[in-house]
Amino acid sequence: MLSYVDDFALTTASLSYRGNIRRLQELFRTIQAKAARLGISFSILKTELIHWRTHSQRHSPRCLSPIQLDGEIFHPRESLRWLGYWFTPTLFTSTHLLRRLALAQGAFAIMRHRSPPRAGHAPCLCHRLAPSLVAPILLDGADLFTPNVGSLTRLDTFWHKVQWWATNCFSSTPIGILAIESCLPPIPLLVSQRQRLAALRTVCSRPALIRQQRASTPPSLPSPLTTLGRLKSMN
């Protein structure tokens, strides 16, 4: 699967780690041979390897066997970044979300330094900065990764600080009314909104763009053509 001009990903499935490594080596040699005929070469040193595991295999020992490509040795990684998402062998969501939390905390620290309580920006400007700057950094990737209980608690705790800052409320203000006072929805609602918008983009995209995504959706999911047909009939 090609992503950028000079990046590509190889994904295989087998019954053992050894078979997976051999299959990856065969595919790499095949692509390398085809690229050589076109005068294209790859930077082998940028190769990153990760072994996926199913949910039932999450407690099984992790594979530490390296893979050899063009005489270079590469060891499996514990986390891998691909197209802005951080993946782990067991596809846990906490790794990606906690990285986003750290970035959001850094951005929020700069905002608070430039606009301390009862000084700096007006409350209306603080309210605009929270959903336009902090929320996109914090929830980037929430359309794919659903936070678990631990991650959701940490995201929610940080978001409460943003709500306090946006409304210039006292630290003793009850958490239950922060969302109302700040007019900033709680984190669970924001995550649900992003996932629903991602589902709508998938359903309403052109058929040529969602063939791969469509293969992983249930047959009962309406297609863009049937959706448009229903809308026209209603009009």
Q: How far apart are CA 116 and CA 165, in angstroms?
A: 9
State pTM to two decimals.
0.69
Q: What are the residue ranges spanned by the domains of the chain?
A: 17-84, 93-195, 205-234
Q: Return mean pLDDT, the chain.
A: 77
Question: Hey, what are 202's tokens?
Answer: 């998938």
Higher pLDDT, 189 or 3: 189
More confident residue, 223 or 129: 129
pLDDT in tens, 91-134: 888 888 889 999 999 988 888 777 665 566 666 777 788 888 88
Are the C-beta atoms of residues 80 and 87 closer than 8 Å to each other? yes
Counting residues of the chain whose pLDDT is more than 90, the rounded percentage is 3
- Measured over the CA atoms of residue 3, residue 8, residue 12 and residue 17, the dihedral's sign is negative
Both tokens of 31, joined, read 């692509």
Cα–Cα distance for residue pair 26/35, rounded to 1 Å: 14
**Two tokens at 214?**
């469509």
pLDDT score recorded for residue 102: 92
pLDDT at 65: 80
Quick: pLDDT tens for 143-182: 888 888 888 889 988 988 888 887 776 666 777 777 777 7
Provide the token pair at 51: 């072994």
List the Cα angle 148/130/165 in 5-degree steps: 95
